[in-house]
Chain A
């Protein structure tokens, strides 16, 4: 590591990161106070209010952080699997006897408390993944290893999905960032990008246009790989001409206008046989990648349509609304619209603390939980929003750096896991409030009201800090020995 970060190395603890963490937690609490603040309410401060109980949780988290720092780091390594399997058990129990909130059976009542096991499952999964991916038997080039690693975050993801808590489930996809760091094939991420493209445009473009786009893209990729543009253009012209001619002829014979889509699809698939023979003869085998992409893309768009058709109406609406295809401010777009109004009305400097009219008078739904960022945007303005986002970004970059300076793969994988979870939560949550992400009900770390989430992020973060401090203590020790 660079010399700059070694200033705090003597203590072993990354005090800057800890300060950012608690800074965000305090700012978060101030915003919960603002979100539930009601001038007309009498009686002053009470622990039964949301800001009161959140303050209690902050106290609990602080204690938890201290306890984590006191436990020897070896236990996290040793207990990674037991914790993970215990967590799976709890998730299954929740699935069986959990309490349903907002349609998701994801809460477990213990005494007077309600906890959301899915929040803690992230911690357990991060530990287990770190343990597995740091083991000697793990290799990124080995399919079994990759599948097993994917299963470690896939299993809790599926259980949580079964709890009907799609938002929390999707968070587990953030472990893919860890995979990339550990050497997973970059093409996978390109393919994922293609899938996102197909997914988005399958709602915006008509099937025919989308199909034409797929054919053109796949032909273009072939062109990039093998060079030689003329034959690609000839191929496209031939497919277009043949399909159009047949469509026209069939329409004339049958006496009605037939959908061109099926003729284009038929021509494209029929041409694949010829293309395959061409590839074989010319020994340009990578043409098969293009063929595979074409078939895969067509299959994927068909799947998207099929899945969409089976979705619940509100989910369909949310997707359409997010993609800007449909927008109805009174119904599904209401949350996002009100949230954008609140944040947008904050302006550059904001309306001032406790002065936000939109949040104070309940125009923004879920404003102390999922939409807590509205209070930041409205009362602190662009300046405040950028400061908060900047702190999050800084914290995540520091977590990445913590991972990089780990001497063992265990710590690195774990730190990356924590960074990825923070990143995913912040991007999706804030993106949702400003209308560039789908409305997925996941909390903003350290800001959203809720003890489970706060405690889970504390666990995630402080174990990373603990692992980091151990590593640096080692460095310091070895330096002292010299």
Chain B
């Protein structure tokens, strides 16, 4: 072969070799083209599931999900369109529409933005008939509340903020998320699982059909329905009774720890936090000095007051520092040290009578006998034991319920007093603890839990609002665990008898809670506080044997515990146990009781 022919042939082979090497690089080595190819042809659309609904214990619908559609736009793809028609369909002014579109284009021309939120299904169907290139609708769940109760217990949902999107991959701009209450606690149950539909598009963005015949799609899983332990009718009654008053009612089923009622007053109509007026209404509620968004049942801390006396009595009985028959005289108060006043009642009293009459003096003796008991060594060690008892009753720590924002309350420790009194303190220094005053702080839920413990004679289940989750056999295992207190069952009888007498006998402080035949056992409390008049509290359960309901009522600045709180509690119990109200005049009287709150309203 000619020499030059050889050179040419070699050059030809070399040139083809370069092409082959280059092909090998882009087809086999460099994988980036494969991702680019997918991005070119596959369009992934998120399918939003409907949010789970919420029911009460009897199957009544509390929170309903209704379909709503957000109008989205990708400014880059928006072609000429009829502004007037689209504005009419979406229910906004053409100016507003243009403004939102300009805002969206300003944010990003390639990424979708929400143009109009929460359109109705009718609007969506009208939109679908029109030809609005670059616009599309996204399904969202809107909430509606058929019973309009328990706003701050159920909580609300709201669009996720940038920080949440950053933190949690699940959420994208425009998604809704539970922000408080049950909506927040059970967010991952209620929200369901988003799906993805993958479709193939051509270069013009026109869908050519599902990718792999839909095999690559992930179907959206609707949110699970939650059945709460709440009794809607009881809740409604509770909210009515608390009108004009600030405070809370909590009722628990002692045998399970299920919360039957959780009223936080003032409340609000949960429908106010839905829809286009949501923003304004939210700001209004936020600005209300009585703080309606706040679930007082778990988010406030009160001095427990006299209801707490039974705890001191129980632990003293357990430790043997007092017996049920031990009597102490009371003539207007306890006189050692700075002393503690008491109201007028018969004397002397034993444990049962002291509970019945809520005798301060008696519990001063009991408390000091406990703290100064030689068997603990010194008062500081005795206080450590006292702390342990309180912890076993669920005080001083969060009960770990399923309610969002639950506080732990406060139980003073020896470290606290060592610091406050430079280590120079004794049983007299901390005497106010004997009657549930002083540094003690409890949530109403903890007080209701105390009522449960007494009803159960010594144990409780962690209070919870969830009863059943759709598709699951059981709720969280922690709600099945029985928590025993450090006090044995046998010591409870004398306290229960005292609480029975407080309602049933003359000279009992809780006589207003008496309902014939219901065997209500109760303990009043009148909690002194630095903000104004005493808080009125009442803790009770019924029936005495085989209790079905335990209730704690806390009315801020309501005065004597027997006057406001006790009737409310008894009405709740009566309604729950007998399904009737035999004392309508009492309902009216309670409803008409309006308590002034200068402490709150001054802040305006």
Which residues of A line the B interface, CB within 8 A?
39-40, 177, 180-181, 183, 338, 340-348, 357-358, 361-363, 377-378, 381-382, 385-386, 389-390, 392-393, 396-397, 400, 403-404, 416, 419, 423, 427, 430-431, 434-436
Contacts and interface: CB of A to CB of B under 8 A. Distances in A.
A59 to B, nearest CB: 30
A389 B16 contact: yes
Contact of B24 (A338, A382, A431): A382
Nearest to A356: B37
B2 A181 contact: yes
A346 B27 contact: yes
B577 interface: no
Nearest to A337: B36
B208 interface: yes
Contact of B19 (A338, A344, A347, A389): A389
A293 to B, nearest CB: 23
Contacts of B200: 357, 361
Contacts of B2: 181, 404
Interface stretch (B3-11, B126-134, B400-408, B468-476): B3-11
B19 A431 contact: yes
Interface centre among A338, A346, A435 (most CB of B within 10 A): A346
B23 A347 contact: no
Nearest to B202: A361
B5 A400 contact: yes
Given A344-B27, A427-B15, A434 B22 contact: yes
A393 B9 CA distance: 10
Contacts of A390: 16
A180 B16 CA distance: 19
B13 interface: yes
Contact of B208 (A358, A361, A423): A361
B208 to A, nearest CB: 6
B575 to A, nearest CB: 65
A40 B204 CA distance: 16
Contact of A386 (B20, B38, B40): B20
Interface in B13-37: 13, 15-16, 18-20, 22-24, 26-28, 30, 32-34, 36-37
Contacts of B202: 361-363
A343 B24 contact: no
Interface centre among B1, B7, B37, B203 (most CB of A within 10 A): B37
B420 interface: no
Interface of B: 1-2, 4-5, 7-9, 12-13, 15-16, 18-20, 22-24, 26-28, 30, 32-34, 36-38, 40-41, 200-204, 208-209
Nearest to B40: A363
A428 to B, nearest CB: 10
B41 A361 contact: yes
B33 A180 contact: no
A362 B23 contact: no
B23 A341 contact: no
18 contacts: A40-B209, A181-B8, A340-B33, A342-B37, A361-B200, A362-B203, A362-B204, A363-B41, A377-B27, A382-B24, A385-B27, A389-B19, A390-B16, A393-B16, A427-B19, A430-B19, A434-B22, A435-B22
Contacts of B37: 341-342, 344-345, 357-358, 378
B203 A344 contact: no
Contacts of A377: 23, 27
Contacts of A378: 37
Contacts of B13: 393, 397
B27 A348 contact: yes
B12 A344 contact: no
B33 A343 contact: yes
A342 B4 CA distance: 38
B23 A382 contact: yes
Nearest to A392: B16
A343 B203 contact: no
Contact of A393 (B12, B22, B33, B201): B12
B23 A385 contact: yes
Interface centre among B8, B15, B27, B40 (most CB of A within 10 A): B27
A348 to B, nearest CB: 5
A343 B23 contact: yes
Contacts of B40: 338, 341, 357-358, 361, 363
B27 A382 contact: yes
A181 to B, nearest CB: 5
B15 A423 contact: yes
A361 B39 CA distance: 13
B12 A423 contact: yes
B26 to A, nearest CB: 4
Nearest to A386: B20
Contacts of A389: 16, 19-20, 23
Contacts of B15: 423, 427
Contacts of A40: 208-209
B21 to A, nearest CB: 10
Nearest to A436: B22
Interface centre among B12, B20, B208, B209 (most CB of A within 10 A): B12
Nearest to A378: B37
B12 A343 contact: no
Contacts of B203: 361-363
A431 to B, nearest CB: 6
A358 B41 contact: yes
A422 B438 CA distance: 101
A404 B209 contact: no
A345 B5 contact: no
A480 to B, nearest CB: 26
A24 B237 CA distance: 87
Contacts of A183: 4
- In the complex, the 7 A-B pairs of residues with the closest C-beta atoms, listed nearest first: A344-B33, A345-B37, A361-B202, A344-B26, A382-B27, A357-B41, A393-B16
Interface centre among A338, A345, A358, A435 (most CB of B within 10 A): A345
B32 A344 contact: yes
A139 B15 CA distance: 30
Contacts of B26: 340, 343-344, 434-435
B8 A400 contact: yes
Given A40-B209, A403-B5, 15 more contacts: A177-B8, A180-B7, A340-B33, A344-B34, A344-B37, A347-B34, A348-B28, A357-B37, A362-B202, A363-B202, A377-B23, A377-B27, A382-B27, A389-B16, A390-B16
Contact of A382 (B16, B18, B28, B209): B28
A429 to B, nearest CB: 10
Contacts of B18: 436
A386 to B, nearest CB: 6
A345 B33 contact: yes
Nearest to A403: B5
B28 A347 contact: yes
Nearest to B4: A181
A435 B30 CA distance: 14
A341 B38 CA distance: 10
Contacts of B23: 343, 377, 382, 385-386, 389, 434
Interface centre among B4, B15, B26, B41 (most CB of A within 10 A): B26
A215 to B, nearest CB: 30
Nearest to A420: B8
